[in-house]
Amino acid sequence: MPTISKRGIHMPASPIRKLVPYAEAAKARGIKVYHLNIGQPDIKTPEVAIQAMHNLNLKVIEYSHSAGIESYRKKLAGYYQQHGIHVNSSQILVTTGGSEAILFAFMSCLDPGDEVIVPEPFYANYLGFAEAAGVKVVPVVSDIDSGFALPPISKIEEMITARTKSIFICNPNNPTGYLYSKEELLQLRDIVLKYKLFLFSDEVYREFCYDGESHFSVLQMEGMDENVVMIDSVSKRYSECGIRIGALVSRNKSVIETALKFAQARLSPPSLGQIAAEASLETSANYFKEVYDEYISRRDFLVAGLNRIPGVYTPKPKGAFYTVARLPVDDSDEFCRWILSEFSYKNQTVMMAPASGFYVTPGKGKNEVRIAYVLNVSDLERALETLEKALEAYPGRTF
């Protein structure tokens, strides 16, 4: 019998999606499941994008250029320039979601066996992309009690070896909601330039910065043109997860030229998705104001509600729409399975992502979960009530 590849065997399952069978089984039993496990907002997609799809009069849906439709790349460059990120269309490669942009960045800049330093917890699929590219993820631990702030630069420098080729951050962060300051990023710049590394920055949550804070992009730092690769996506910005449109952005000409070769091998990003994404660039400022206010309301309600539950703690995130919470349980993986398969309250239950899947360091995240505040406040209220009752009933509780 033929055997599965070692790469396939080592490919990690998504901690965000691996509990789906338990959720489906709960629904089949007639139980309402509140999905706090995945960053799928219930926010409406901008009307301009929907109308662009309705008003299509194409007779043939063709391949686009491998780098993406030129008119979209030019308008996207204009969007970045409005945010103080000065790039042109030739420095943008449109990808099939931000996921493909990450994979292209790894495969264009890193060789098998190279190391990438990533503050943990980090978006779990980074590990999958690294596995596919043959790259080793080296974690530098941030801690819930410090609000998941970037570890001291000295800690990061300790991780650098002869195989280190890059540092990778997500800003604002998924899964923690931490927003890196300009000062922290400038410290990273110094170490990146000192060791001649790439700096990958996942900035898909750029619009979601709270409490008067603003986003500072790695592409706004001087002297970094050859080092920086920025990852972007429309999935969260416009609540368009399903159209699968992202971007790889870099002023390093060799990176773009190399990534284009991988892009040519997959032919083109989704044409219909690009049409919707281009139209979305006309979204009004009122849309973002309403979305911002809604997420602030959800965040504040969720964080206050979690911290009122005995034994639960979560810091207040400054960006994105996630928080990592510490629960009074012995094993969050088991708890997240149990609450779906063996518990319900008022015929409802909650789906969360065990945080262990967002760490590489063994034992980390064992009593933590990632919660996405992508549901309205009334749903969050019922989910919190259910979670509190579940923690009281869970056999492995630690309080």
The structure tokens 């992502």 sit at 353
Express each pLDDT in 156-178 by its tens digit. Answer: 999 999 999 999 999 999 999 99
User: What pLDDT score does 396 carry?
Assistant: 86
User: What pLDDT score does 208 carry?
Assistant: 96
Residues 334, 221: one domain?
A: no
Is the dihedral angle over the CA atoms 248, 249, 255, 260 positive or is it negative? positive
Sheet architecture: strand order including 92-95: 92-95, 246-249, 228-233, 198-202, 164-170, 115-120, 136-141
DSSP per residue over 154-185, as a string? HHHHHH--TTEEEEEEESS-TTT-----HHHH
Q: What is the pTM of this model?
A: 0.95
For residue 356, the domain's CATH number is: 3.90.1150.10
Low-confidence ranges of the chain (pLDDT < 70): none
User: What pLDDT score does 198 carry?
Assistant: 98
Q: What domain range includes position 236?
A: 48-280
Residues 330, 235: one domain?
A: no
User: What pLDDT score does 136 carry?
Assistant: 97
Nearest to 233 by CA among 245, 218, 249: 245
Is the residue at 398 inside a domain?
no
For residue 57, the domain's CATH number is: 3.40.640.10
Is the residue at 399 inside a domain?
no
Helix (H, G, I), strand (E, B) or coil at 119: strand
The number of helix segments (H) and strand segments (E) in the chain equals: 13, 12
User: What pLDDT score does 378 carry?
Assistant: 96
* 3-class SS string, 216-278: CCHHHCCCCCCCEEEEEECCCCCCCHHHCCEEEECCCHHHHHHHHHHHHHCCCCCHHHHHHHH
Express each pLDDT in 46-104 by its tens digit. Answer: 999 999 999 999 999 999 999 999 999 999 999 999 999 999 999 999 999 999 999 99
User: What pLDDT score does 15 carry?
Assistant: 73
Report the distance separating Cα 158 and Cα 142, nearest Å. 15
User: What pLDDT score does 12 carry?
Assistant: 84
User: What pLDDT score does 399 carry?
Assistant: 78
Looking at 254, 280, 306, which one is the last position of a domain?
280
User: What pLDDT score does 354 carry?
Assistant: 95
